[in-house]
Amino acid sequence: MAGGAPGDRIAKQADLVKTGIEQAAQSMREMSEAIQKSQAEAFEILKRRMDEGVDEIKDFKAA
């Protein structure tokens, strides 16, 4: 960052930092949404399998 007034250099660095933080925050939001979605899908799979297991036990007891 040769040349330019110190205030200009500081402002440019501040803009770069702000942009970096905004990009990191967006990435974290996207990652959080992906994790939430995968957890919800996993829960639904487990819930469905547990319901099937309960039904199998009921059928076995009825037989």
Q: Please tell me the pTM assigned to this model.
A: 0.65
Residues 6 or more apart in contact with residue 48 via CB below 8 angstroms: none
CA distance 38 to 43: 9
Q: Is residue 6 part of a domain?
A: no
Structure tokens at 8: 């200009």
Q: Is residue 11 part of a domain?
A: no
Q: Is residue 8 part of a domain?
A: no
Number of domains the chain contains: 1
Q: Is residue 3 part of a domain?
A: no
Q: Is residue 5 part of a domain?
A: no
Structure tokens at 19: 């942009």
- For residue 47, the enclosing domain spans 16-63
Q: Which residue matches tokens 């829960």?
A: 43
* More confidently predicted of 37 and 62: 37
**Digit-coded pLDDT (tens) for 16-57:** 999 999 999 999 999 999 999 999 999 999 999 999 999 999
Q: Is residue 1 part of a domain?
A: no
